[in-house]
Amino acid sequence: MKRVSIFVLTSLLFLLISHTGYAVAPTQKEFCLDAVACNSNPCSVNNGHRVRLKTRTDAKLLPNKEAYIIACVSGDGSSLPICTTGTTATDTIIYKKDVINEEMNKTPAPNWGYKFEGLFGADGVTSPNGAGKPANPVMVKSNGEIDILEWQDSTTNGKSRLWKALFLVDPSEGIGAEGAGVKQNDLDFDSAGRACVKISWDPWGRVFDAQTLEPVAGANVSLLYKNASGVFEDYTAAASLITKNNGKYEIVVPPGFYKIKIAAPLIIATDPADINSAYKSAYYEVYDGTPIEEVPGMIAHRDVAVKVTPPTHTPLGVEYFIESGAIGVTVSGTVTHPKSVVSINTIKSTELLKPESERVVFRNAVASATADRDGNFSVLVNQANLQRTNEFQEMVYNVSVTQVDLVTGNPIAKNSSGSVMSFISQFLGSLFHSVYGQTKTVTFSIPVMPTYISGYAYDAAGKVIPNAMVGLYLTFSNAPSYEVKADANGFFRITSKDIPTMPFDIKYTTPTGQVVTTSTSQFIAQNHKTNVVNKTSPFEYRDSSNAVITPLVVRPTSLAGNPGSKSGTTTGGSGTNPGVNPGSTTRSNPAVTQTLIVLILLILLLGGVGVGVMFYMKNKTPRPGTF
């Protein structure tokens, strides 16, 4: 009888624990795939909206497991990047949400007009799992590779994409890719967290103002084709396109000869004399009115200069990805205006405890890059080099994109002539007529991307939540990428290999079922003192035994030095900051300095003229008793 009683009590205790505990969700592991556009490469078909996917040689997948193929679309001013498996059914499994309709195509924003058109095997026709079977997920072979795949989709505004293989892994399993050059259960983020290949559906060209050289939005672009009689007539098989802020257009056509047509009031400038000679810095293969031959497997690119009255000044826009990896955090994407300067700015963690309107940027342009002629850019910040003191942790905060005057050159650098008289001439000229390509700047916030998470779970009132279930959620997802339970003191730790490489939020679920959501930056601000005491950093890399994998690069924390200095700033589309020199928040802007010099010279000039006039009037006034 005694044994029976003990058994009953033990069973009841087990049931009580199981019903009051937490069911840990599967861990989501992502690996970048190699992607090649099918517009000029050996795919099953020549299609401008299709890519061929395969396993990367430096990022082998989890062998003998099912992988969900996902496409991630770049973010913009209305949304961070968003990923999808292509269908509502599989998105509901992975993200617990109809991502395409609830996120991508949500109105009024972001309203990307995303359309999934298929995931196919190497033949480009049938499902990779066989005719009539669902395309997702696919099975990874024992060598850590998948068979060749083709993915096709579209958006209404030609956004960039990247592709990944996503796995749902039982947390109790070892999560390591055999043969991937990575130790089992250890450094997964080194392969999974590499920057992915990004592809934009290549435009057939861009429409730009022949004088300001800015992209033209709202241009109605269509084609004429050469019929069998050798006469050019309207090509009606494809609808005309209305360009957006980047001026890009794209029309898929069969082989043949074509001419470009743009609706009034715009007029195509085919005479080089009508186009500002500085256009070569940003545009190429400019349309001159001659027929264009479309050849199979090739893009017939043409930028089109148009006469615009009055001159065009198109709003500045940007689309981007944010990824973290073993080197740092990378912001990459495309700007509507070529040659724009992209800079990453930082903030102190203590500022994040203030209302947003009261926060002050700590340092401007800790890393920057100049976009290339197609508007593409990539900026890398080694977060391990950001400043850290007992009082604060420096963190990335926002990105500034500054438009460049394509006619006169980069406004941040010195004037091309380098002469004071040139500064005066330009300044005086701006007082009397509009200046083409005037500098504009847009700024957008970006989330902090920690690579190691250690600290306490806090509720909205700042109180510790004991025994909370902690989940990392991609910003567009209702399903956790990783979950762990905090201890009785509310403390928890998440190692580098379990942290997503794309933007995410942290959610705490209390024992009573309440959910508290906090941003990564807020978590770091709340737990800075804990990290200082424990001698840990949110930007270092630690394994499951809590040992440092990549030693933190120690930099001086003194604020002495060159204010606002930039390290590793480059042009040509990419930039890094391998070692940032500490500095103050102020930064000298050459354009402002030049303006001040001009103003001082004007004041001196006007003062001299005034003195001269006074002497003249004094000498001209007749003295008493004289004629």
What pLDDT sits at residue 311?
83
Token pair belonging to 94: 């992975």
Give 388's DSSP letter.
B
**Do strands 115-120 and 441-445 pair parallel, antiparallel, or not at all (unpaired)?**
unpaired
CA 304 to chain centroid, in Å, comes to 27
Using CA atoms, how far apart are residues 21 and 64, in angstroms rounded to an integer? 31
- The H or E element that residue 222 is part of is strand 220-226
Residue 48 or 352, more confident: 352
Q: 260: domain CATH number?
A: 2.60.40.1120
What pLDDT sits at residue 426?
43
The one-letter code for the residue type at 233 is E
- Residue 373 within any structural domain of the chain: no
CA 105 to chain centroid, in Å, comes to 19
- Residue 290 within any structural domain of the chain: yes
The percent of residues in the chain predicted with pLDDT above 70, rounded, is 75
User: What is each CA distance from 301 to 10, 30, 243, 260, 570, in whole angstroms?
Assistant: 74, 35, 15, 11, 28
What pLDDT sits at residue 585?
35
Q: Which residues fall within 8 angstroms of residue 588, CB to CB, at 6 or more apart?
A: 563, 564
- Indicate the SS3 state at residue 462: coil
Using CA atoms, how far apart are residues 593 and 587, in angstroms rounded to an integer? 11
Residue whose structure tokens are 């402002």: 592
What pLDDT sits at residue 58?
84
Mean pLDDT of 556-577: 36
What pLDDT sits at residue 197?
87
What pLDDT sits at residue 24?
74
pLDDT at residue 114 is higher than 80: yes
Nearest Cα residue to 438 out of 462, 402, 491: 402
pLDDT at residue 282 is higher than 50: yes
What pLDDT sits at residue 16?
40
Q: What angle do CA 92, 96, 100 make, to 5 degrees?
A: 60
- Residue 430: phi and psi, rounded to 5, are -70, -20
Instruction: Kindly report the number of other CB atoms within 10 A of residue 338's CB atom.
Output: 26
Token pair belonging to 107: 């109105």
Asked if residue 225 and residue 164 are part of one domain, the reply reads no
Asked if residue 239 and residue 169 are part of one domain, the reply reads no
Instruction: Evaluate the CA torsion angle 3, 4, 9, 14 in order and state its sign.
Output: positive
Cα dihedral 313/319/324/326 (nearest 10): -70
Mean pLDDT of 431-451: 68
Using CA atoms, how far apart are residues 101 and 452, in angstroms rounded to an integer? 33
Q: Which of 536, 551, 575 finishes a domain?
A: 536
Helix 590-620 and helix 420-430, axial crossing angle in degrees, nearest 10: 80
Asked if residue 193 and residue 63 are part of one domain, the reply reads yes
- Residue 51 within any structural domain of the chain: yes
**Do strands 504-509 and 304-307 pair parallel, antiparallel, or not at all (unpaired)?**
unpaired
What pLDDT sits at residue 54?
96
User: What is each CA distance from 48 to 105, 118, 175, 375, in whole angstroms?
Assistant: 21, 14, 36, 19
What pLDDT sits at residue 525?
94
β-partners of residue 398 are 345, 445
Residue whose structure tokens are 């724009």: 340
Using CA atoms, how far apart are residues 451 and 497, in angstroms rounded to an integer? 8
Q: Which of 536, 560, 580 finishes a domain?
A: 536
Mean pLDDT of 271-292: 94
Using CA atoms, how far apart are residues 158 and 114, in angstroms rounded to an integer? 10
Q: Which of 154, 174, 200 finishes a domain?
A: 200
- Residue 247 within any structural domain of the chain: yes
- Residue 304: phi and psi, rounded to 5, are -125, 120
What pLDDT sits at residue 461?
87
CA 591 to chain centroid, in Å, comes to 27
Instruction: Kindly report the number of other CB atoms within 10 A of residue 610's CB atom.
Output: 10
- Residue 221 within any structural domain of the chain: yes
Token pair belonging to 350: 């203590």
pLDDT digits (tens, 9 = 90+) for 191-222: 444 578 888 765 689 999 999 999 999 999 99
Residue whose structure tokens are 């009683």: 5
- Residue 333 within any structural domain of the chain: no
Query: Can you give the residue range of the structural domain that contains 142?
Result: 27-200
Asked if residue 254 and residue 236 are part of one domain, the reply reads yes
Q: Which long-range contacts (CB under 8 A, 24 or more apart) does 229-234 make?
A: 232/257, 232/259, 232/291, 234/261
Q: What's the number of CA atoms in the CB half-sphere (13 Å) around residue 363?
A: 26
Asked if residue 291 and residue 187 are part of one domain, the reply reads no
Residue whose structure tokens are 């309709």: 101
What pLDDT sits at residue 174?
55
User: What is each CA distance from 82 to 72, 450, 477, 548, 598, in whole angstroms?
Assistant: 5, 19, 9, 31, 47
Using CA atoms, how far apart are residues 522 and 525, in angstroms rounded to an integer? 5
Q: What angle do CA 172, 173, 178 make, to 5 degrees?
A: 160
- Indicate the SS3 state at residue 446: coil
pLDDT digits (tens, 9 = 90+) for 84-113: 999 999 999 999 999 999 999 999 988 999
Instruction: Kindly calculate the radius of gyration of the chain based on its CA atoms and give it in whole angstroms.
Output: 30
**Do strands 220-226 and 267-268 pair parallel, antiparallel, or not at all (unpaired)?**
unpaired
Asked if residue 182 and residue 282 are part of one domain, the reply reads no
Asked if residue 221 and residue 190 are part of one domain, the reply reads no
Neighbour-count burial for 540-563, b at 16+ CB within 10 Å, e otherwise: bbbbeeeeebbebeebeeeeeeeb
- Residue 264 pLDDT class (50, 70, 90 cuts): very high
Among the listed ranges 236-240, 261-265, 329-333, 592-596, which one has the minimum average pLDDT value? 592-596
What pLDDT sits at residue 239?
81
pLDDT at residue 627 is higher than 60: no
Is there a contact between 498 and 322 (Cβ–Cβ < 8 Å)?
Answer: no
Asked if residue 259 and residue 177 are part of one domain, the reply reads no
- Indicate the SS3 state at residue 291: coil
Residue whose structure tokens are 């963190």: 395
Q: In what order do the strands lie in the sheet with 363-370?
A: 363-370, 341-348, 394-402, 441-445
- Residue 483 within any structural domain of the chain: yes
- Residue 271 within any structural domain of the chain: yes
β-partners of residue 469 are 485, 509
What pLDDT sits at residue 609?
56
Asked if residue 181 and residue 218 are part of one domain, the reply reads no
Cα dihedral 357/359/360/364 (nearest 10): -90
Asked if residue 91 and residue 173 are part of one domain, the reply reads yes
Asked if residue 57 and residue 173 are part of one domain, the reply reads yes
What pLDDT sits at residue 588?
37
- Residue 400: phi and psi, rounded to 5, are -110, 130
Mean pLDDT of 280-295: 92
Residue 568 or 332, more confident: 332
Q: What angle do CA 411, 322, 577 make, to 5 degrees?
A: 55
Q: How many structural domains is the chain composed of? A: 3
pLDDT digits (tens, 9 = 90+) for 29-39: 999 999 998 87
Residue 6 or 495, more confident: 495
Using CA atoms, how far apart are residues 164 and 161, in angstroms rounded to an integer? 10
- The H or E element that residue 52 is part of is strand 50-55
Asked if residue 165 and residue 50 are part of one domain, the reply reads yes
pLDDT at residue 279 is higher than 60: yes
Mean pLDDT of 507-516: 96
